[in-house]
Each structure stands twice: as C-alpha cells, then as structure tokens.
Chain A
Amino acid sequence: QVQLVESGGGVVQPGRSLRLSCAASGFTFSAYTMHWVRQAPGKGLEWVSVISYHGSNKYSADSVKGRFTISRDNSKNTLYLQMNSLRAEDTAVYYCARDLGGYCGGDGCYPRGMDVWGQGTTVTVSS
C-alpha cells in the first residue's frame, strides 16, 4: 500500500545538525512533488519545504531558509531534510507528505495539497 515512513528524529543541542529521512513505498516516488511539514508541540501545521519530482527545484519557508535543505534520491525512493543550525523553535513533529500532483519547476512551484502523509518523526532541540 502507499506509505511514507519518516526516521532520523531525536534530541539535539542548539546549533547542531540533524538529517531526516522519509522512505516511500507503494507508488512511483519519482513522479511526485514532495513536502516536509512540521508541527510544534500544541501548535498548528507549518509548511517547511517542497521539492520537485526530479529534485531540481526546491522552495522553503522563510523560517528555515538558509538552514534547512530538502533533497531526494529517486533511486532509493527516499526524501531527506538536512537541518543545520537548529534552534529551540525547530522542536516539532516533522511529517513528509506527497503532493496531489501539482507542478514544480524552474518557473515556479504550484502545489495542490498533500494526499499521503507519514506518521511523523519528533525532533527536540534542547541543551
């Protein structure tokens, strides 16, 4: 069945780095735009980053721009989120999600929404 499984979360000190992974199965991963979305404890959903199906086009929220990098390896059916210079406010559950089929290219990114979600992985930034 269609599935996304995140991993790589944990407790990390402020200023350190962490890489999250999202393993996809049950669908043609290389055909879909993919997202990372996070949710701080007791708070709402916050969109983090999106990557085109081929990996050449990426966009991120201002809150993580310059610190987080989204990437993918279509040969491994895996999405990544490299998180550097972590801050306490990055503490959250991080979800990967598949886009419904929006277009994302060099001239812009037009997502349509997220139809498949992983179960989430928890990142805690604390000294």
Chain B
Amino acid sequence: QSALTQPASVSGSPGQSITISCTGTSSDVGGYNYVSWYQQHPGKAPKLMIYDVSNRPSGVSNRFSGSKSGNTASLTISGLQAEDEADYYCSSYTSSSPWVFGGGTKLTVL
C-alpha cells in the first residue's frame, strides 16, 4: 500500500496559478477515475476540494480544478490567494487496498 507521490512543496505568488501533481500506478490513479483532492489548514480537518478526478463539490471555488493523464493526476489552483496556503493531499481508489493517500504537498503563497 505505497502512498501516491506528491511534491513536498510548491509555491506561488498571489494571482498566479500552480499545479500539484500526484503520481500513482495503473492499479490506482491510472486505472480508475476515483481520484480526489483535499485541502487541510493547520489544526483543521481535511476538506474535499475535487472528486472523481475533476468534479468540484458545491461551495468549492472554481479556481480549483483537477485532471488526470495516465498514472498522474493534477490539481490546479488559479488566481492564487493567501487563504489557499495549506497542505493538499491527493487520494485514489486502489485495487490492493482499497484506498490510498498521497504524501501531501505544502502550498506556500509568497
């Protein structure tokens, strides 16, 4: 049950766009469309931002978008805002587990 691979950190300036990658295998990210992304501020519970690769729950800003190509999923945040500074986790159904998270990415808004 290896974790999905995410960059440890990314950064961007307000107004810019950033993308966080999430790399798995054909047994998880590449084989199924059950990829989701979570935002977590310090000391808070995670919040669902994207599900089923590219769908946004009601109430989530359209500045957040998701996509997938092969074994890699991506979360893009456009028009970066200070409040976006947080940890982000990808996750996916996996045939061996049945669920796995990525290691997490710390987003810094410069």
Binding site for B on A (CB under 8 A): 35, 37, 44-47, 50, 59, 61-63, 95, 100, 102, 108-115, 117-120
- Taking CB atoms, residues of chain A closer than 8 Å to B102 are 44
A-B contact count (CB 8 A): 71
Selected A-B contacts with CB under 8 Å, 20 pairs: A37-B46, A37-B101, A44-B101, A45-B46, A47-B91, A59-B97, A61-B1, A95-B45, A95-B46, A100-B48, A108-B98, A110-B93, A111-B98, A112-B34, A112-B36, A112-B51, A113-B52, A113-B91, A114-B36, A117-B46
Residues on the A chain within 8 Å of B87, using CB: 44
Q: Tell me the complex Cα distance, A115–B52, Å.
A: 12
Chain A residues near B97 (CB, 8 Å)? 47, 59, 61
Cβ-defined contact, A115 with B99, below 8 A: no
- Identify whether the interface residues of B are mostly helix, strand, loop, or mixed: strand
Q: Is the CB of A111 within 8 A of B89?
A: no
Residues of B within 8 A of A102 (CB): 34, 93
Chain B 31-71 near chain A by CB (<8 Å), digits 1 or 0: 00010101010000111100110000100000000000000
